[in-house]
Amino acid sequence: MGEPGARGRFGDYGGRYAPESLVQACREVEEAFREAWRDPGFRGTLAGLLAEHAGRPTPLTPARRLSEALGVRLYLKREDLTHTGSHKINNVLGQALLATRMGRRRLIAETGAGQHGVATATAAALLGLDATVFMGERDIERQSLNVFRMRMLGAEVVPVTSGSRTLKDATSEAMRHWVGMTADSHYCIGSVIGPDPYPWMVKEFQRVIGDEARGQFAAELRTGVPDLVVACVGGGSNAAGTFAGFADTTARLVGVEAAGGAGAARGRVGVLHGCRSLFLQDGDGQIVEARSIAAGLDYPGVGPEHAHLRDLGRARYVTVTDEEAVGAAVRLARTEGIVPALESAHALAWVIRAAGGGELPAGSTVLMTLSGRGDKDVATFKELL
């Protein structure tokens, strides 16, 4: 899992489907990122921020009681223990630092439930940048606490009233807004989606998950690599970062999507938000809205590299229902004392199903990325349990 090929492609996917002014802005981001990523100074500064501010490295936790019940050896990569509570901070600190290096004074971001917006507002405050976050009006109503957190951190939250008034529309609006502002603003995308170089760049910023886990796993088990590497997939950034650490090994890679947001498992080829990939569409090729109890999995498509990994057969994509995810969250809470984010609970639900259904031979070693903590989902759990 390396760089995209010619014209920013992973196989047939990816690219830069955008108006000329944005294509130019994307070229500048690509050039700046290529240069920064080769610069040990930039890497060192970012590693320092990740350690001092975000709490890296995150632990690798053996899920002992659950492993025993399932008959496998399950290890959790604890992104839930990062500052702001999910892997999103890894990417945002990288992009905020890049923006500073490019002389940009402002970050523009889209957000659905508010997790990426909060992370962006956090990184902006840390580095003394302004932040403007686009959020669908419906999401603003549903996520008032995160809206307040962003404002408390000094960010401006702009309600988006078009379309379904959710994440898809917020992303379109943020891109439109960036067109006129590219000289002083950086568009900070929250997942491995959007025009090239974003899918590649965001994966590189999330690669720290997989690289750390690989080293920790090797130290824990002499065998070196797990049999299986599992992560949940919304746009696919925590999965891409996790997979990147194991792509050159024999580990089987599994991405777990929400049944109502299964871009990789059930999508068709299309173009959205500047990128050719797999998206949920109706008979006329219109993008269908995703539906999941986990707001972070509510994206109607998947990043282009996942589409390519699926075609190659290198990674497999499976789906889990809302009910299975909630059940898995309760099980993790009661066996390991960890309340996971509903997104992460999808990955666990598949592990539980696969272990029970004989898909995972007894004694298999499984590495699962726990992408976030469940504090943000407590109201949902309370309603259901």
Residue 111: what are its φ and ψ, rounded to 5°? -150, 150
Binding track, positions 326-355, relative to ligand PLP; x by CB under 6 A: ---------------x-xx-----------
Among 114, 234, 263, 301, binds ligand PLP (CB under 6 A): 234
For residue 110, indicate whether it is catalytic: yes
Q: How far is the CB of 232 from ligand PLP (least distance, A)?
A: 5
Examine residue 301 and tell whether it contacts ligand PLP (CB under 6 A): no
Euclidean distance between CA atoms 18 and 45, whole angstroms: 32
| 3-state SS, residue 376 | helix
Counts for the chain of helices (H) and strands (E), in that order: 15, 15
| Binding pattern for the stretch 80-119 against ligand PLP, x by CB under 6 A and - elsewhere | ------x-x--------------------------x----
C-alpha closest to that of 195 among 93, 90, 304: 304
Whether cis (ω within 30° of 0) applies to the bond prior to 57 is: yes
Q: DSSP for 214-267, please give it.
A: HHHHHHH-TT-S-SEEEEE-SSSHHHHHHHHTTTTSS-EEEEEEEGGG-HHHH-
Q: Which of 67, 185, 292, 371 is catalytic?
A: 371
How distant is the alpha carbon of residue 230 from its chain centre? 13
201 binds ligand PLP (CB under 6 A): no
Single out the residue of 46, 92, 233, 258 in contact with ligand PLP (rule: CB under 6 A): 233
What values do phi and psi take at 256, rounded to 5?
A: -110, 120
Is residue 169 near ligand PLP by the rule CB under 6 A?
A: no
Q: Which amino acid is at 121?
A: A
According to the binding rule CB under 6 A, does residue 281 interact with ligand PLP?
Answer: no
**Which residue in the shown chain puts its C-beta closest to ligand PLP?**
372
> How many amino acids of this chain bind ligand PLP (CB under 6 A)?
17
Which is catalytic among the residues 30, 77, 86, 88?
88
Q: At what angle do helices 144-152 and 115-127 cross, to 10 degrees?
A: 10
The stretch near ligand PLP (CB under 6 A) out of 29-37, 212-220, 234-242, 322-330 is 234-242
Residue choice 14, 94, 226, 236 for contact with ligand PLP (CB under 6 A): 236
The answer to whether 187 and 175 have CB atoms below 8 angstroms apart is yes
Catalytic residue among 30, 79, 110, 324: 110
Task: Report the residue number, 63 or 341, with the smaller CB distance to ligand PLP.
Answer: 341
Site of interaction with ligand PLP (CB under 6 A):
86, 88, 115, 191, 232-238, 296, 341, 343-344, 371-372
Looking at the annotation, which residues are catalytic? 88, 110, 371
